[in-house]
Amino acid sequence: KDVQKEREPHVYLSKEEVKEKIQSYNSSVTDKLKMTLNANGIYTGFIKVQMELCRPITVQSSQSQGRCAPSNQETAFYLPDGCVNTLHISSTNTVREVIEALLKKFFVADNPAKFALYKRCHKEDQVYTCKLSDREHPLYLRLVAGPKTEMLSFVLREHETGEVMWEAFSIPELQNFLRILDKEENDQLQILKNRYAAYRGKLEEALRGVLNPG
C-alpha cells in the first residue's frame, strides 16, 4: 500500500543517545552488518536497497564513463525485479546521495533525478510504502527502526512520469529516453502482432475444419 510521506520530525540525538542506540542495534544484528560510531559523532553502517524498476536502465562500460551521449558501450536492459544491493554509508548521507551512489556503483548512466527512494514498513499488520524526501538520512532511519528489514526496508523506484522534472535533463539524456520508449513500443507491438497471428491461425484452422469436415 503506497501512502503519502508522513511528517516525521527528525529527532536530534545526543552523542550518548546515538552510542546507546548503536550498541543496541549491533547486539541485534544477525548478518554482521554493524554500525560504527566515529569520534566526531558521525556513524557509518549498511543499508540494503531493493530494486523495483519497471523501465529499463542504461548501463555504461568503464571505458565510456563520464560521457553523456549514448554510445556503443551503453546498454539498456531490464533489471530483475527484487534485486537487492547493499551500500555502506554514513549518517550524513542524504537520500539523494544514496541514489547517486547506488547508480554509480553499477555504472548506471541514467540521471538520478529519474529515481526515488522509498521506505517500506509494517504498521498495524499492514505494509506501507512511502517516498522519502531527498534530504532525509537513510542510515538514521535504519538506526531508529533497528536492523530487521521486516520493520523497515528501502526500495528504489522510478519517479512517476508526472513527477519527473524533464527540464533538468540534458538533450542526449532525453534522446536516450525516447530511444528506450521506441524500443518498448516496438516490443509491445511485436507481442500484439504475434498474439493476433496465433489467434488468426487457430480461427483459420477451425474454419477449415467446419468447411471440410472429416
| Among candidate residues 158, 152, 132, the one with its CA nearest the CA of residue 47 | 152
Does the pLDDT value for residue 80 go beyond 80?
no
pLDDT at 163: 58
pLDDT at 67: 45
Residue of higher predicted confidence among 6 and 108? 108
pLDDT at 130: 87
Residue of higher predicted confidence among 112 and 163? 112
User: Do the beta carbons of residue 87 and residue 98 sit within 8 Å?
Assistant: yes
Distances (CA, A) of 174 to 16, 68, 137, 154, 165: 49, 11, 30, 28, 11
| Among candidate residues 9, 28, 15, 36, the one with its CA nearest the CA of residue 136 | 9
CA dihedral over 124, 129, 135, 141, signed as positive or negative: positive
CATH T-level fold of 15-60+70-161 = Ubiquitin-like (UB roll) (3.10.20)
Does the pLDDT value for residue 81 go beyond 90?
no
Per-residue pLDDT band for 46 (boundaries 50, 70, 90) equals very high
Distances (CA, A) of 128 to 57, 114, 139: 26, 22, 19
CA dihedral over 191, 193, 198, 202, signed as positive or negative: positive
Q: What is the mean pLDDT of the chain?
A: 82
Does the pLDDT value for residue 156 go beyond 60?
yes
Residue of higher predicted confidence among 123 and 91? 91
pTM more than 0.75: no
Domain layout of the chain by residue ranges: 15-60+70-161, 168-211
Tens-digit pLDDT profile for residues 108-150: 888 888 899 999 887 777 888 888 988 899 999 999 999 998 8
Torsion of CA 195, 197, 199, 205, to 10 degrees: -150
Tens-digit pLDDT profile for residues 174-214: 777 787 778 878 888 898 899 899 888 888 888 887 777 66
In b/e form, how buried is each residue of 167-187, taking b as 16+ CB within 10 angstroms? eebeeebeebbeebeeeeeee
Residue of higher predicted confidence among 154 and 82? 154
Distances (CA, A) of 202 to 188, 197, 210: 21, 9, 13
User: Do the beta carbons of residue 142 and residue 100 sit within 8 Å?
Assistant: no
